[in-house]
Chains A and B, each alone.
Chain A
Amino acid sequence: MLRVLRLGAKVERPPDRVDPLRGLARVAAGGDPQAERTLLIELGPSLLRSGRAILGATNPEVEDVLQESMAALLAALPSFRGECTVRHFASRVAIQTALRARRRARLRGRYLAVAADDELNDVASLELSPAEQLEAARRRAALRELLLELPEIHSEVLAMHIVLGFTIEETAAALSVPINTVRSRLRRALASLRDSLQGDPSAFDVLRAKA
């Protein structure tokens, strides 16, 4: 069962923007089939994006994880209290689902290393040289591996902030934890990331050169 909400944790600065999906989510949580479908269609791209970010853009398990995320989201909707936007809530569900899928795949010993190579094709048209693309792919792979090594509370923060580009406030709201908790977790997770990349001298050299 998803541990999407940690009750009792107080969010320091709840989002003050009006969430256009809040009403739809409430109706969907009540089991209205049309609302459920509309919500899934609306949030699907966000779920897909999160899944691809964690698994690799061309990982063949992306579709399964998308469907799993949708089912998990519907199951978790009744527990949604509106601490964050529905989209951020959905992204967190997708991240958890994708991380579980990767852990399962690793346990089965069939993690697909082809993902990184296929991503090279995706970025081939950009301004990076082939060597730079390879280095970027190596760093992404290092972070994805690290997400599996870290405790869940740290990997979630890292995935939301680094991979999906959530701000500290958005991450805190999505996790239903105080902002300072996010900062603390992020600091530890980033230290782990740095250590991990230092274990790969070529990748870290590139980082230092670019920094």
Chain B
Amino acid sequence: MTRVAAPSVGDAEDLSVRSRQGTLSEAERLIWERARAANPTLSVAYRVGVDFDRVALVQSGDDQLVARMADRTLDRARPRPRFVSVRRRVVLALAAALTVAGSAVAWRGGLLRRSSFVSGGDSARVQQPAGGARAKPVSDGQLLGPTRAVAPPSVAPPSVAPRLLNAASDAGRATALPPTTVEDAAALFGEAAAARRSSDFGRARLLYLRLESAFPASAEARLARVSLGKVLLLMGRASEAEQQFAQYSSAGGPLAEEALVGQAQSLARLGRGSDEQRVWQRLLHDFPNSVYTSEATQRLSVLAATAPR
């Protein structure tokens, strides 16, 4: 007669885990039941383990949360390089504008001085000796000296800087001058993504919308639909999010899988169960190896359980 050896505590613990996973064979199940009945502590552990298995540790929207936190973590780990580069661009643009403005004023000032020297209109004229004698030419040092000292720094900034600062601020709100090149689409996309990563969803939304309206044919604008959809979903604007995702899904593209997930999640928020069900089914059909398969299956089973009979 064959006797089934009593499992050691360690073996029984593994049987407990596998029982929770539902992977025990019939023979193992018998051993496990016997061990559990003989050991109250083991039974307690199993019971509490099952309690934890029942809690929904995976929730809808986890993928977005993980992506957001990953970006935030990496941004903090590397002193926010993209944000710095955007700021640096603004500062450099300001500095360049001020330099140009200063140079222009300096040049204009120099021209005026030169012209007054030629026409004898200004301070140079004052220095001219009376009696029509030919004035002593002003040296370069004399000409440049007062120009350098007076014109650019003290005159230009008050008139130019506020306007530039306002422009920069407007650019920050995506309402600046109309972009004119394809590079602007990329810059807008980058800026919107940076805003999204720093959880400035309102600004990100504006920038994505601007990108879509200003460069509708650009690759960035097409990708922006998915990004904007995610932003809108995070902002609780599920209806608008669903439209963005749906537009991308119908056009197709490399983010079609993401778009379908976003669309399904938006529909879930809107309580449109049957539409959500169709989108999850399409995801499983179009992307059978998707990383979202488990989420899709889970939602489909929930939807099937809650569907009116």
Contacts and interface: CB of A to CB of B under 8 A. Distances in A.
A71 B73 contact: yes
Nearest to A52: B57
B20 A126 contact: no
A125 B76 contact: no
Given A140-B55, A162-B52, A183 B47 contact: no
Contacts of B71: 37
A190 B74 contact: no
A161 interface: yes
Interface of B: 9-10, 13-14, 17-18, 20-21, 36-37, 40-45, 47-49, 51-59, 62-63, 65-67, 69-74, 76-78, 302, 305-306
Tell me the dominant secondary structure on chain B's binding face. helix
B53 A40 contact: no
Given A67-B69, A125-B302, A165 B48 contact: no
B193 to A, nearest CB: 13
Contacts of A183: 9-10, 13
A174 interface: no
A167 B66 contact: no
Nearest to A127: B54
A74 B73 contact: yes
9 contacts: A36-B74, A41-B66, A41-B67, A53-B55, A125-B305, A140-B48, A163-B52, A165-B21, A193-B48
Interface stretch (A16-24, A43-51, A79-87): A43-51
Nearest to B302: A125
B44 to A, nearest CB: 5
Contacts of B62: 44-45, 48
Nearest to A141: B51
A148 interface: no
Interface residues of A, number: 55
B66 A162 contact: no
A139 B48 contact: yes
A199 interface: no
Contacts of B305: 125
Contact of A70 (B47, B49, B73): B73
Contact of A191 (B41, B58, B66): B41
B62 to A, nearest CB: 6
A207 interface: yes
Nearest to B73: A70
A31 to B, nearest CB: 9
Given A71-B77, A143-B48, A186-B13, A49 B58 contact: yes
B45 A166 contact: no
Chain A interface secondary structure, helix, strand, loop or mixed? Answer: helix
Contacts of A207: 43-44, 47
Closest 9 pairs (CB-CB, A-B) = A44-B66, A40-B70, A211-B43, A70-B73, A136-B51, A122-B56, A49-B57, A183-B10, A67-B69
B52 A53 contact: yes
Contact of A136 (B17, B54, B76, B77): B54
A98 to B, nearest CB: 12
A36 B45 CA distance: 36
Contact of A66 (B14, B21, B65): B65
B261 to A, nearest CB: 14
Interface string A179-193: 110110011001101
Chain A CB count within 10 A is highest, among B10, B44, B58, for B44
B70 A167 contact: no
Contact of A161 (B13, B37, B77, B302): B13
B24 to A, nearest CB: 13
A197 interface: yes
A112 interface: no
Interface in A26-77: 33, 36-37, 40-41, 44-45, 47-49, 52-53, 57, 63, 66-67, 70-71, 74
Nearest to A49: B57
Given A40-B66, A207-B44, 9 more contacts: A33-B78, A63-B65, A70-B70, A162-B48, A162-B49, A163-B52, A194-B40, A194-B44, A211-B47
Given A44-B69, A162-B49, A52 B17 contact: no
B48 A122 contact: no
A67 B72 contact: yes
Contacts of B14: 167-169
